[in-house]
Amino acid sequence: MSSQKKPKRQPSRNRVRQRTKQLRRTINAMDYVASGTLHIRTKVCGRKNCRCAREPDARHGPYHEWSRRQDGQLLHSIVSPEQAQILVLAIDNHKQILALLALWQRETVKEVLNGENA
């Protein structure tokens, strides 16, 4: 009784394209993409006679601060509330794209390795 191995199929771009069609559509539908973190802060101005020095509820702000890495450097920007709304969407989109790219990568590995160790 000889066990014959099933011939391995060749990797196919078409199979990968078919299996990743929906995630590519999802990525394509996104308008804004940004990495980083958005913080809403209040601040103490440092003047001794200002209420913010004595009362936490009287601090100045809120200020929307966007932190991100660009070219290896950490950058901070103060943005308007309108810009902050867009950045919330853009940061969520970035996270979703990373998750979708991980799925795409798994599908590629599965196709290249024909399901072995995938």
User: Does 27 score more than 90 pLDDT?
Assistant: yes
Pick 64 or 114 by higher pLDDT: 64
CA dist., res. 114 & res. 59, Å (int):
60
CA dist., res. 68 & res. 87, Å (int):
11
Q: In this predicted structure, what is the pLDDT of residue 8? A: 66
pLDDT tier for residue 72 given thresholds of 50, 70 and 90: very high
* Alpha-carbon distances of 101 from 6, 108, 109, 116, rounded to whole Å: 31, 10, 12, 20
Pick 111 or 99 by higher pLDDT: 99
Closest of 38, 81, 77, 75 to residue 61, by C-alpha:
81
User: Does 16 score more than 90 pLDDT?
Assistant: no
Q: In this predicted structure, what is the pLDDT of residue 51? A: 92
Q: Average pLDDT of 52-81?
A: 94
User: Does 17 score more than 80 pLDDT?
Assistant: yes
Residue 111, CA atoms < 13 Å, CB-side half-sphere: 16
Which of 64-73, 75-84, 109-118 is the least confident region?
Answer: 109-118
